Each structure stands twice: as structure tokens, then as C-alpha cells.
Amino acid sequence: MPYRAPVQDYQFILDHVVGLSRVAATDRFAEATPDMTAAILTEAGRMCDTVLAPLQRAGDLHPARLENGVLRSSPGFAEGYKAIAEGGWVSIAADPEYGGMGLPMALTASVNEMMSAACLSLQLHPLMTQGQIEALEHHASDELKALYLPKLVSGEWAGTMNLTESQAGSDVGALATRAEPNGDGSHAITGQKIYISWGDNDFCENVCHLVLARLPGGAPGTKGISLFLVPKFIPDENGAPGRANDLSVVSLEHKMGLHGSPTCVMQYDGATGWLVGREHDGMRAMFTMMNNARLGVGGQGIGVAEAAFQHALAYAQERRQGRSPIEDGTGTIIDHADIRRMLTVMKAETFAARAIALDCAVAIDMETATEAPEWAARAALLTPIAKAFGTDTGIKVADLGVQVHGGMGYIEETGAAQYLRDVRVTAIYEGTNGIQAMDLVARKLMDDGEAAHALLDEIEARAEAARARLPDLAEPVWQASETLREALDWMLAATDPNQRFAGATPFLAGFARVLGGHYHLAAAMAEDSAGARTHLARFYITRLLPEHQGLLAHATSGADGLYALSPEDLSA
Amino acid sequence: MPYRAPVQDYQFILDHVVGLSRVAATDRFAEATPDMTAAILTEAGRMCDTVLAPLQRAGDLHPARLENGVLRSSPGFAEGYKAIAEGGWVSIAADPEYGGMGLPMALTASVNEMMSAACLSLQLHPLMTQGQIEALEHHASDELKALYLPKLVSGEWAGTMNLTESQAGSDVGALATRAEPNGDGSHAITGQKIYISWGDNDFCENVCHLVLARLPGGAPGTKGISLFLVPKFIPDENGAPGRANDLSVVSLEHKMGLHGSPTCVMQYDGATGWLVGREHDGMRAMFTMMNNARLGVGGQGIGVAEAAFQHALAYAQERRQGRSPIEDGTGTIIDHADIRRMLTVMKAETFAARAIALDCAVAIDMETATEAPEWAARAALLTPIAKAFGTDTGIKVADLGVQVHGGMGYIEETGAAQYLRDVRVTAIYEGTNGIQAMDLVARKLMDDGEAAHALLDEIEARAEAARARLPDLAEPVWQASETLREALDWMLAATDPNQRFAGATPFLAGFARVLGGHYHLAAAMAEDSAGARTHLARFYITRLLPEHQGLLAHATSGADGLYALSPEDLSA
């Protein structure tokens, strides 16, 4: 069975779990009516099912390659991209002034997730362009906007992000790329960037690089960094791609997976670029781009989780092995309890991760529509959780998908292993999941935990409301929220940041566990009588939610016991 | 930094945690003196470090291949195998009558683990031969033993296991391979077997296949299966390899990893074979081979965990990124709390898995030496835990190793990804980890939980003894054991096997968590004053042991809520 976009699940979560109707009630997003939402999801789903999903294996079997400096993409990718661009799927959130649809991020997140599920390698391409569009909308001059945005929004041109250098990874401030003023308003960019996803392609007229570099007089560290737009071909007076810029793809990385997506080493040799935002203020613009990219990468994990789940489910419903252990079984391995357990974990986790990501997207939309600081704080709080839990879920679910297949899971032609190899990178790029966790316990709690406490209040209020009808589900969710609140207060009381960092990763995982219970409970409450969503919620709340206890015990163990083991002790 | 066999860690665990001295005190293993043990570990460690570890990447980059039906192994593997065979490392546990050293399984397990760490693909080869030696020692006729065992023990000939067929995986009883008597005491074997690890090689004189097949009149299912020894070359009157048998390697699988180890489809076209054990009783002989192979595969996971840990630790001590967050730090990323957490988790988990496996090996040795049923029951109980937890640990630790490397972890030349790709199969082959968990909660509790309760008694006795000196470690271990006892009693009370199976995997994981606490506590108690082993024990008991609660809550949730979600619900 090939991948089918779970259109109804998005619709259900948007309508009944994360409250998209609040977004549609704003002036800004008045067009996002239920009819419009349904049409977008259905149409995008059809494109993913029929055009993108068939490209998934080709990207793995025939990786993008560099031939005499020219990038050759995987077979079929050019046609697949054309379908994405022509459908408008690069830019449904973009400003209508430049050709976008101006629709909510909640829809973009849903569509991005489907595209990731169908073909992760190719989907990464428009995801990068989306981030660039957003950065330019917020920070570029009117001239740059007018010149570049229509081409990016239409998908004729592509966008990339250039942050990392070999000695500047998580520590972006260590970068060495330089920018020198040319005297005509442009700058000459010189340096080498690594890990540039889709640093080039053979199906867009132009590729626009957003490059972090240091201007003369720029302070060391992140404070002295500026952002530049550096196109592959410099637009001529008509805005058409003109002369080739002084930049090149040096080489492609040989990666564990995601072979259809070329990961480039980019060389800039005095390439012409234009400043985006103010001098020495590039990190602010980059953060705009990164925050939404982080939600996007979370969605990549969730998309792959969905695809790996469907793939394993189809296998389990087909493979016969041993006698059925249950009456009226199907006779396939789905009857076996341990296989059924794995599949149900996969479904329950995917739902939880999806609800977290879509709730984050709704918060972004409400922030956009209302400019209310509470929504901004909620979006900021949920972003690292959506990224890290979404990608961890992608890896966990793809790993279970391999296991459901037994020996076949380890054989590449089955496709289960590819999901695991492909999705593994999502926990690393766009800020490793460790960086996300540190962001959560440091920057995102700088409001003295106000946003986090507000979210816990909401969880507990919903649990209270559910107590009469679903006491066996409401009570554990309420209790878990209280345990999380204690851990949160422990974090807030820890003044040494390293005390927080020592438990940041399990704290984020525990937070996500509790949020999962919250959204599953909402789903169960949306059913008139106990059906599949209630059964799934009960499965999650009974069997997976209890993990929050161990995670939060770990989260609040502090740094002292951690550093008690010296590097020498570890080496012994 | 290349891999270095952790000789001192084996020595410490054998001496202070699992009590190898009890084994050495038996007549059967009187030769296993502390001096002998130290010499064996040191010598094997040197061979692993200098000969095998350099082959690890070559196996991945230059997979074994089939050229016109002839198998070509990866570069250097022939020389590596020669060092294994000449060192006697194929057969240190084998009967001295046939050239083995007759040493304890605890030493074999340690040496196998080191070899797995150094080069998993190649180590799988002698592991298969070891299993065959053991099966022949227990079940073959004296003639077969005299002809085959000296060659297998010396490593001149290799052994393989042939169980799986395309429709008979976990359900071995569904196999279709036939055996027909030739009238001269031999049989003609016809059928196709899949997933045959090292089904051929180009560095042994002969390859001996143990093949499960059905004799005429054999009942359907596992009860009608017999076991045959089918050599690639039929020994002539002098015992030298003679005419080629009617068997061939049809093809090799393209796998996610373990590329140095050829996974063969084997075709038998009336190949000549000899019965091992009694007619229709092949499963019993196969189980002998499988049980020790399961411990061996657990050791593969642990070996890779150790190698991935050392590899990540070396990177973390070298890579500079950002300012050190601690005073007197090294200036490398090992100073960062989240990196330090990952590395310490890796070390703590590897220790726990290793101690479980070596305790299992000691139980096997005590069973061999004393024939006491308590030791047999303990070995049987610990085997599925050693296999599943050892391999799950290998996967978890290798995955953390990728994460410690950040972006570099996803680039193949770094080597971190290879550990993850290679070790992934260990949770699948030799009985998937789901099958191990079912074995634990069904077959291994058929003694009404006597062996399990005895083990919990031992855990609690040790915790009691530790309470005076290390109360903060002893108390949580004691409490965890009580929680495990409740879960065990829940399992024993569940008469419908599917009620147990629904929670089998989390039950096994929870059991392993508690055992890990037990062994870490023993390690801490072996220190005169609180040093590195006490710090590591505290880390594990404070931060990882609490996971047992969530796991055991899941374990005892039963089947009803699991089957409440129908296949249609999962597909919706």
C-alpha cells in the first residue's frame, strides 16, 4: 500500500484539538474557512499521494550528484518540484502581495508534513525556500523584496540557508566568512559554508543563498554577524537571472540517508551579495527564519513517522506467520500482541507529535493575527518541543517500522530502513535536539515560566472538564501536569544554567509526554461515545504517559552528579 | 582514537560483580584461574585492537560480493579471520578433546564482545561456527564429531545456521525444505533458505551448514523438523574437503548495514547431508545452538555500544565549540552538560548490559559445571534479557553516538552512522526482540516464576547489605525490585498468554532496568570509597532506573486495551 496523506486526521486535529476556528475568526485569516481548509488539505494530499510518494525510493537509489561542478538531481525530482511549485505549495503562507496565499501556518505545517511523508528529500527544498521568504518579508529592503519575493513565492527560484562552517556549528558566532562593501551598496562575500541543504539544483532558474558573514568592524561572536542575500545568478535590469555569481558547490556529502537532497559545501569567492536587515544584526533575521524552520523540521519527523507507520501497517496486514493468537483474527501478524503494540505506539506517538506541532502553528497564527505577546510566548515555548519531539518521534516510529518488518526491515528494498536513515538527520539539523532542549529550559523560561505555567493551567482545566465523562483518562493527565509543574518549578529555581541543562533533554521529553496526554484527551472528548480516538487516547494515557515520571526524575537530577564523573572517569 | 578493548572492565565485572570465582572453583573450570583469565582477555584485546578494528570501515565500504557464484569477502577479512582462528578465539569454550580450550562461557562472551566491537561483520563469522560446534558436541554422532569438530574448532572450516525460509521466519515450523533418505545413512536436502549469515566465504577450506528440514512422515509444525549437517565440500576418506555438494549461494541481500557480512540466499538441490540428533527432533538441537547464539548476539550489541561510546567520547574530547560552561573545563564539547549526559548514559547503559550478559554466562558455566537445575533456570531466564537488552542498548548507544557528533554524525566517513546501521540488525536476527520478550513472559515463567523470584530475592538481599553504606543507592534498587515483583506477579496471574504478550516488551525492558541497578550497586560496593564506579552507579540509579516505573505500568496494562483498537481503527 503506498502512502496516503491522512487528510481527515489533520482536519480533525485542526477542528477539534487545536482550535483552528480561533484563527479563522481573525481578520487576518478570515479566508481560512472550513471549506477552504478542506480544499487545501485534499488537493495537497492528492499531489503528495500521486506525484511525490513515487519519488521516495528513486532519491535513495539515485542520489543527487555533482558532475563537473553541475548538480544533477535524482530522477523525477524536477517533475515533482514542478508539481509543488505549480500547486502553490511552496508558499501558501506567503504574503499575497508577492503572490502567496496568505493562509495560516497551521495549513502550511499540515501540507509540509504530508510532503515530508511522501518524499522527504525533495520536500526539504521548498522548506528552505519558505524560510527564506519569511526572512525577506520581515527584514529585507523593499527593493530586494520586489526583486526576489515574487520569484521565490512562485517557486521559479529557490532559497537556501548558509549558517554552518566547519568550526562553527552549534556555535554560529565562531564563523569566519567575511563581507566587504563594494561601494555600490552590494558586498563581496568570501568564505566556505558546509551542510548546505539543496545548495544547488537543476530545476530552478536561480538559487538564492542567505549567508551569514562578518562585516569589517563586526564584533566577535554572534553580535557581529550580518545577513546577506547572495544569488547564484545576479538578476539583470529586468529581474531575470543574469551573470553567474562567484560561488560554487565544492562537493556533496556522503550521508547516512536523505540521498535525494544534496548536502553541499559552498564556496564564496568574493561573491556579490546584498545586506538583509541591519548591519551586525543578522542573527535576528536568521532567528525568524530558524524558528519556523524548526517547526518545519519537526513536521518532517512527523511526516516520516506517518509514512513509516502506514508502511509497517500494510506489511503487518499482509504477512502471515504462525497461528493467530486471537479469535476472529485476520490471520496476519497484526493479530500478534507485540506487533499490535508496536503499531499502536506508532499511531499514538504520531498523533501526539502532530497535535503539538499544529498547536504551535496555531499559536504562530494567533501571534501573527493579534500581535498579542501571550501568543508569541506560547509559540516560542512550543517550537523547541515541536521540533525535538517531532523528530524524535520520527526516529522512534521509523525504528519500530523496521522492527515490525522483522528480517525484511533490514533489507533495503523493503523501504523501511530508508525511513529510518532519512529521518535520522532531523534530530541534528536546524539546531540539534540538545540545543532545542537548552533553548526550552533557558530562553523559553526567561519569562519566569509564565507561558509554561499558562499552558499547564490549560491542561489542568481541560482535565477538570473531562473528569466527569472520562475520569480514567482525565485524572492521570491532571496528575502528570502537576508532576510537570513541579519539575518546571525546579527548573525555574535553578539559577545556574548548567543545573537546568543537565536535565534539559529529559525535561523536554517529559513535557512532550504530558502534552501528548492533553491532546489525546481532547481527541477522546471530541467523540460522542467511546470510539477509536478514545481507545487510542486510553492506550497512550495508560501505557506511554507514565514515562513522564522517569523522564522528569531525570530532568531534575541536576548537574552535580553529572560532572562527578570526569572525562578521565569516562575514558577509564 | 581507535577502539581499545576495555579489558579492565571485563576483569572488574567478572571478579566483583558476577562472581567468576565461583566458576573457577568448580572442577570443570579449574583452569580458569585469575592469571589465565587475565592472559586471555589481554591477548584477545590486543588482537581486536590491532588486527580487527582496522577492518571495520573496509567491510562497510567494500561489501562482500558474489562474482559468478563465488563469494568475495571484504578486503582484509581473510587475514583478520586468520588471526582469529590462529589465536584460538573461535573456540575457547570448545571441548579440549577436539582442540578447544574448555574455558568458561564468561570468557567466550567477553572475547566475543570485544571482537564485535572491533569488527561486527567479521565477528559474526566465528559466532556462527561457535554455535555449530556446541550443537554438534551435544547432538551429533561420534563419527560426525570426529570428522567435523577438529576442523571447526581450529577454524579451518566454518559453520552456518540455516533456519529461515521466506514463509518461515519467527514461525520456523512453517518451513518447506525436505530431506529424503539416500539409503546409505545420508540424506538428500532440497529447499531454499534465506538470511544465511556468512553462507559462504573465501577464507575457509569448507563451510558446514546446519539445515532444518522435514523428513518424510515428519509432522507439520516444529515437531516434524530434523536437523542436518550439509557441507559445501563432502569430506573424503581422509577427512579432507572432497567433491562439491549440490548447494549454492543464489544471491546476497542489500542491507542497511553489516555490509562486510554476506547475507545469503542458499539453494539446496538434493545436497547430501547427515542427520544431527534424532529424527523429527531437530528443534531441540537447534535450541542448544540458538540459546548461546542469543547470548552471543546480545554481546554483539554490547560490543558495538562500547565501540560507539569510545568513538563519540574521542570526538567530544577533541571538538571545540562555544565557550566552556564550567570552570576548569577542557574547552571541548565534553564540558557541555547535554553532551556529558549523553556520554554518561552511554557508559552507564553499556555497563548494565555487559553485567547482565556476563551474569548470564556465569549461570551457563555453573549449569555446565554443576548440572544444578537452579543454574539452568537462571541461565534460561537471563538469556532473552541479555539478548534483547544488549541489542537495544547497542542501538540506543550507537544512536546517541551519532547525536554526540552533531552534523558529522550523519556523514558516513565519520563512522558513527555505521555503528548504528550495523547494530540495527541485532534486534532482529536470532529471534526478534519481541520474540525474546514473549519467551521471557511465557516459557521462562513456566516454573511459576521460581527463577525470577529467586533473582529478585538476590537483588533485595544485596540492596539490604548495601543499605548501611550506600543508602541513597540501595533504597531505590530495593524499591524497584519490589515494583518488578508486583509486575512479575501480575504476569504469573495472567492465564491468557496474550495478556502477558501485550506487555512483554516493556516487561523485559523494565526487568533489565532493575537488573542494571543491581549490578551498578554491586560495582559501587566493590569500591573502598566513592570513586568513578560509585558516581556511575549513582548516575544510573538516580536518572535511568526510574524509567522502570513507566515501563512496568505499560507491562501490566494487559491486552484488552490493545485489541480495543481494531486493524480498521489503525488504518483510519
Its domain, for residue A338, covers: 290-560
Half-sphere exposure of B282 (CA within 13 A, CB side): 29
Choose the closest CB to A341 out of B421, B502, B542: B502
pLDDT of residue B405: 98
DSSP secondary structure of B74-138 = PTTHHHHHHHHHHTTTT-TTS-GGGT-----HHHHHHHHHHHHHH-HHHHHHHHHHHHHHHHHHH
Distance CA A518, CA B86 (A): 61
Query: Considering Cα of B295, then B301, then B305, then B307, what sign does the dihedral take?
Result: positive
Choose the closest CB to B501 out of A254, A338, A543: A338
Using the Cβ of A524 and the Cβ atoms of chain B, whether some distance falls under 8 Å is answered with no
Distance CA A231, CA A210 (A): 8
Distance CA A549, CA A528 (A): 31
Instruction: For residue B374, give how far its alpha carbon lies from the nearest alpha carbon of chain A (Å).
Output: 29
Contact assignment for B571 to A313 by CB distance below 8 Å: yes
Cell of B134: 556446541
Distance CA A305, CA A420 (A): 9
Contact B226, B282 (CB under 8 A): yes
Using the Cβ of A261 and the Cβ atoms of chain B, whether some distance falls under 8 Å is answered with no
Helix (H, G, I), strand (E, B), or coil: what is residue B256?
A: coil
What does each C-alpha distance from A553 to A111, A483, A484, B534 come to in angstroms? 37, 10, 10, 19
Using the Cβ of B313 and the Cβ atoms of chain A, whether some distance falls under 8 Å is answered with yes
Distance CA B482, CA B467 (A): 15
Which residues of A are known catalytic residues?
A: 430
Distance CA A423, CA A121 (A): 10
Distance CA B146, CA A279 (A): 83
Choose the closest CB to B338 out of A347, A501, A564: A501
pLDDT of residue A290: 83
Distance CA B510, CA B516 (A): 10
Helices (H) and strands (E) in chain A, counts: 21, 11
Sequence-distant (6+) residues with CB within 8 A of A195 are: A164, A253, A263, A429, B407
Cell of A546: 507514565
- The CATH number linked to A484 is 1.20.140.10
Please state the three-class secondary structure of A273-305 as a single string. Answer: EEEECCCCCHHHHHHHHHHHHHHHHHHHHHHHH
Distance CA A126, CA A105 (A): 15
> Which among A98, A60, A102 has a CA at the least distance from the CA of A77?
A60
Choose the closest CB to B570 out of A255, A344, A437: A344
| Cβ atoms within 10 Å, residue B143 | 10
pLDDT of residue A321: 87
Distance CA A228, CA A271 (A): 11
Residues from chain A that touch B547, judged by Cβ atoms under 8 A, are: 547, 550-551
DSSP secondary structure of B484-527 = HHHHHHHHHH--SHHHHHTTHHHHHHHHHHHHHHHHHHHHHHTS
Q: Provide the β-strand partners of residue B368.
A: none
Contact B302, B291 (CB under 8 A): no
Which of B562, B566, B568 to probe the A interface (max A CBs under 10 A)?
Answer: B562
Instruction: For residue B85, give how far its alpha carbon lies from the nearest alpha carbon of chain A (Å).
Output: 29
Q: Is A220 exposed, middle or buried (0-12, 13-18, 19+ CB in 10 A)?
A: exposed
**Residue-wise pLDDT tens for chain B (572 aa)?**
689 999 999 999 999 999 999 999 999 999 999 999 999 999 999 999 999 999 999 999 999 999 999 999 999 999 999 999 999 999 999 999 999 999 999 999 999 999 999 999 999 999 999 999 999 999 999 999 999 999 999 999 999 999 999 999 889 999 999 999 999 999 999 999 999 999 999 999 999 999 999 999 999 999 999 999 999 999 998 999 999 999 999 999 999 999 999 999 999 999 999 999 999 999 988 887 788 899 999 999 999 999 999 999 999 999 998 888 999 899 999 999 999 999 999 999 999 999 999 999 999 999 999 999 999 999 999 999 999 999 999 999 999 999 999 999 999 999 999 999 999 999 999 999 999 999 999 999 999 999 999 999 999 999 999 999 999 999 999 999 999 999 999 999 999 999 999 999 999 999 999 999 999 999 999 999 999 999 999 999 999 999 999 999 999 999 999 999 999 999 98
Using the Cβ of B468 and the Cβ atoms of chain A, whether some distance falls under 8 Å is answered with no
Using the Cβ of B143 and the Cβ atoms of chain A, whether some distance falls under 8 Å is answered with no
Sequence-distant (6+) residues with CB within 8 A of B487 are: B507, B510, B552, B555, B556
Distance CA B255, CA A413 (A): 8
Which of 487-516 (A) contact B at CB < 8 A?
Answer: 497-498, 501-502, 504-506
Number of separate domains in chain A = 1
DSSP secondary structure of B310-356 = HHHHHHHTT---S--SSTT--SSGGGSHHHHHHHHHHHHHHHHHHHH
**In-domain check, residue A240:** no
Nearest CA in chain A to B252: A411
**In-domain check, residue B394:** no
* Exposure class string for B402-424: b at 16+ Cβ within 10 A, else e: bbbbbbbbbbbebbbbbbbbbbb
Residues from chain B that touch A510, judged by Cβ atoms under 8 A, are: none
Q: Pick the catalytic residue: B137, B165, B430, B460?
A: B430
- Residue tagged 556462527 (cell numbers): B128
Helix (H, G, I), strand (E, B), or coil: what is residue A32?
A: coil
Residues from chain B that touch A535, judged by Cβ atoms under 8 A, are: 561, 564-565, 569
Helix (H, G, I), strand (E, B), or coil: what is residue A530?
A: coil
Sequence-distant (6+) residues with CB within 8 A of B400 are: B308, B312, B342, B345, B346
pLDDT of residue A348: 98
**In-domain check, residue A246:** no
Cell of B148: 567435523
| Cβ atoms within 10 Å, residue A403 | 22
Residues of chain A with pLDDT under 50: none
> Which among A435, A356, A424 has a CA at the least distance from the CA of A395?
A424
Contact A26, A369 (CB under 8 A): yes
Q: Provide the β-strand partners of residue B268.
A: B191, B247
Helix (H, G, I), strand (E, B), or coil: what is residue B267?
A: strand
Choose the closest CB to B428 out of A409, A434, A571: A409
- Greatest alpha-carbon pair distance for chain B in Å reads 81
Contact A547, B297 (CB under 8 A): no
- Residue tagged 562537493 (cell numbers): A251
pLDDT of residue A1: 61
Contact assignment for B434 to A553 by CB distance below 8 Å: no
Say how many CB pairs under 8 Å bridge A and B.
261
Q: What angle do CA B65, B71, B73 make, to 5 degrees?
A: 65
Contact assignment for B550 to A550 by CB distance below 8 Å: yes
Q: Is B460 known to be catalytic?
A: no
What single DSSP character describes residue A388? H
Distance CA A108, CA A360 (A): 12
**Phi, psi values for residue B135, rounded to 5°:** -65, -45
First to last CA, chain A: 51
Residues from chain A that touch B571, judged by Cβ atoms under 8 A, are: 313, 317
- Give the distance from CA B92 to its chain's centroid: 17
- Give the distance from CA B448 to its chain's centroid: 27
- Give the distance from CA B526 to its chain's centroid: 27
> Which among A269, A251, A252, A157 has a CA at the least distance from the CA of A211?
A269
Which of 173-232 (A) contact B at CB < 8 A?
Answer: 174, 194-195
Host H or E run for residue B67: strand B65-67
Choose the closest CB to B256 out of A410, A497, A538: A410
Instruction: For residue A16, give how far its alpha carbon lies from the nearest alpha carbon of chain B (Å).
Output: 17
Instruction: For residue B182, give how far its alpha carbon lies from the nearest alpha carbon of chain A (Å).
Output: 32
Contact A189, A254 (CB under 8 A): no
Distance CA B538, CA B542 (A): 6
Using the Cβ of B251 and the Cβ atoms of chain A, whether some distance falls under 8 Å is answered with no
- Residue tagged 499575497 (cell numbers): A96
**In-domain check, residue B235:** no
**In-domain check, residue B485:** yes
What single DSSP character describes residue B19? -
- Give the distance from CA B217 to its chain's centroid: 35
Contact B52, B2 (CB under 8 A): no
**In-domain check, residue B77:** no
Q: Where are the alpha helices (DSSP H) in A405-470?
A: 416-423, 433-441, 450-466
Contact assignment for B322 to A427 by CB distance below 8 Å: no
pLDDT in tens, B434-469: 999 999 999 999 999 999 999 999 999 999 999 999
